[in-house]
Amino acid sequence: MRWTWLVVVLSPAAAARVEPVALSANPFTGGKGASFTVAIRGTGIKGATAIHTGTAALQASIVGAESEDGSKGKTDVVRVRFESAADARAGRYAIRLIAPGGISNALPIVIAEEPVVHEPAGSHDTPETAVVIGGVPVVFNAHITKRGESDFFAIDAKAGQQFTFTAVSGLPAPGSAGGNARGFDPSLAIYEASGSWFDPKRINRIAANDEPLWVLGLPTDARLVHRFAKAGRYLLRVEAFSGQGGPDYSYQLKIREGDAKDPVDIEAAWRERSYSRYLSANRLNELAERGGKALEHEPMETYGMGDGSEPRIKIPANLDGAIARPGEFHRARFQLDASRDIAIEISTPNTAPPEFNPIVRLLDDKGEEVATNVSVGRGACTGAMTKSLQSKAIVPLRNPGEYTVEVREATADLAGANFRYRVQVRQQVPHAGDVVIDADHINLTPGESKTMRVTFDREEDYRGAVAVLTGQLPPGVQAVASADFEPDKDPPPTKGKRERFSPRTERSVVAFIASADAAATPEPAMVQVTVHPVADGKIGAALAVRAIPLMVVPKQ
């Protein structure tokens, strides 16, 4: 038999472009006018050539790079030297790496007002190896290097002296979904060496705090304010709530005397259904602007609640009060002369569910409940009936007459001066609610296309359009409207009154397309994306604005 051999020569395929991903920065805090070196861990960043600091008052240079082997494969480590200006504004800044695969996602670098100290080398997971705290105020850059580890700090306090301890996690980067849910949730506890009958050297916990509430999407940083009853040396313990640890688990420990307040980060994005939103007297015009309509509404009147009276109000109105005593409830009345679609919004500026759980009921002239902010449905897993409190309810009122607004706490035994509320009763104003732009950065190779999704809510029967505009793009790159596939969702077992509590959500898609001959960009172009309402053939004021770094990178 004669054999014929077929030889196949496989040419190596072009290596796929590796998207740069920055995972963590350690340490991530520096002082004003100081120089400090940061180890940035990630994938696809080893060949990084530059640091993008935006408008931050920081100078940055790459001083080294290597790769580490881990249980989940190789991780790149890029060491960056930062220098902050002496007059730099204290706060959090977003920095990115520019690598062969393009620009990375953002990581936080913090400039602190207080002196910054690095945790000494070695383990500090026992009282005997605790880091001694010298002067206060101070900020420690520290690290939980492995699972189950904790750090001890020793502090000397006088009788009656009060301190504020704050532990801030370096994970994740600003804007990442889920707050710190993907990793590090720091916890604080204070101990004294008071011993026990069995062990005279035992340390006993006298105070602790994790975070007031765990809500997906919100930070999980811990804050503990404690006044020491007697003088002595005490131990502060920092650990991950669920025992996590590893090379990415860096944190900032800030210690100040007294009940020190941190500046509140102003949330630039509109949050339609958040208990912390501010319901201003000019809200009708704010909503009209988001609907692309004229701002022609008069400011609404504010009525005080809780003095024992039941004020007669005129819609639109703000109702301000506090559930100061257990079982207390407040009422206000209004007259409806014709059928009207109204909206009831609730904000709680001091404390929100599940600590303060405001129930708002709308009663007719017979005392029967017409509407409430309690949403009823069935769970998707078991089908069991569920109830939840909502911060907004849409109510169509068809019967003229007298109505009563009632505000109470869901429980009969919780109350306090901090249980403050504002309930706004007003006519409906069609508008675009929350707007989410999902792109953080965009990297394109010649001939490549990537999409950006803009999701928005249609509130109060808003039927206008939403326009997505992009600023100047690099040569050879264009942005066009497009559509992508969205899988069908299974209908809920029971809808309940979803239209009363849930807006209609839609999305727009923009495709960024690089031509086949598009030239590589040495640095990112900051593309400004703005979202506008369109009503009656006119484009309205911007609903959302985001500057997105975009790079064209050569094919590898």
pLDDT digits (tens, 9 = 90+) for 255-293: 999 988 776 554 457 889 989 899 999 999 999 999 999
Length of the chain measured in residues: 556
Query: Greatest CA separation found in the chain?
Result: 108
Residue 330 lies in a domain: yes
Q: What is the pLDDT of residue 402?
A: 95
Residue 409 in any domain: the answer is: yes
Mean pLDDT calculated for residue range 165-173: 77
Instruction: Give the angle 350-418-163 at the CA atoms, nearest 5°.
Output: 80
218 and 95 in a common domain? no
% of the chain surpassing 70 pLDDT: 89
DSSP 399: S
Tell me if 7 is assigned to some domain: no
Task: For residues 49 and 61, give the distance between their C-alpha atoms in angstroms, rounded to a whole number.
Answer: 9
Q: Are 351 and 366 in the same domain?
A: yes
Is the model's pLDDT at 403 over the cut of 90? yes
Rounded to whole angstroms, the Cα distance separating 455 from 507 reads 4
Residues 330 and 219 in one domain: no
**C-alpha dihedral, 307 to 309 to 310 to 316, nearest 10°:** -50
Same domain, 126 and 211: yes
Distance, CA of 111 to CA of 89 (rounded, Å): 7
Tell me which of 429, 446, 477 is where a domain ends. Answer: 429
pLDDT band at 384 (very low <50, low <70, confident <90, very high): confident
Is 263:166 a contact under the CB 8 Å cutoff?
no
| Averaged pLDDT of the chain | 86
Peptide bond into 27 cis (omega under 30): yes
Give the pLDDT confidence score for residue 182 in this predicted structure: 53
pLDDT tens digits for range 300-316: 999 999 888 899 999 99
Across the range 466-474, mean pLDDT stands at 93
Q: Which of 112, 143, 170 is the last residue of a domain?
A: 112
What single DSSP character describes residue 287? H
Direct distance between the N- and C-terminal alpha carbons of the chain, in angstroms, rounded to an integer:
47
Has residue 448 been placed in a domain? yes
**Are 68 and 15 in contact, with CB atoms under 8 Å apart?**
no
Q: Where are the alpha helices (DSSP H) in 493-547?
A: 498-501
- Any residues with CB less than 8 A from the CB of 364 and at least 6 apart, and which? 370, 399, 401, 402, 403, 404
Quote the CA–CA distance of 21 and 71 in Å, as a whole number. Answer: 18
Q: What is the pLDDT of residues 311-341, one digit of tens each?
A: 999 999 999 999 999 999 999 999 999 999 9
pLDDT at 92: 86
Tell whether 336 and 451 lie within a shared domain: no
Domain, as residue range, for 489: 433-552
Q: What is the DSSP string of 179-192?
A: TTTTS--EEEEEEE
63 and 120 co-located in one domain? no
Q: Examine the pLDDT at 351 and tell me if it is beyond 80.
A: yes
Q: Do residue 187 and residue 244 come from a single domain?
A: yes
231 & 301 share domain: no
**CATH number of residue 512's parent domain:** 2.60.40.10
Reported as a pLDDT band with limits 50, 70 and 90, residue 74 is confident
Residue 425 and residue 438 in one domain: no
Average pLDDT over residues 472-485: 90
The answer to the question of residue 79 being in a domain is yes
Taking 50 as the threshold, does the pLDDT of residue 7 lie above it?
no
Both 510 and 417 in a single domain? Answer: no
- Sorted by sequence, the CB contacts under 8 Å of residue 128 that are 6+ apart come out as none
pLDDT, tens digit (0-9, with 9 covering 90-100), for 177-214: 334 445 678 889 999 887 777 777 788 888 888 765 65
The span from the CA of 413 to the CA of 205, in Å, is 29
Q: Which amino acid is present at 427?
A: Q
Q: What is the mean pLDDT of residues 492-506?
A: 77
DSSP 127: G
384-413 average pLDDT score = 91
19-34: pLDDT as tens digits: 899 988 999 999 988 8
Domain check: are 417 and 495 in the same one? no
Number of domains within the chain: 4
Q: Is residue 329 part of a domain?
A: yes
Last-in-domain residue among 57, 90, 112: 112
pLDDT at position 11, please?
40
**Same domain (yes/no): 253, 137:** yes
pLDDT for 51:
92
Q: What is the pTM of this model?
A: 0.82
Enumerate the H helices of 239-303 as residue ranges: 283-290
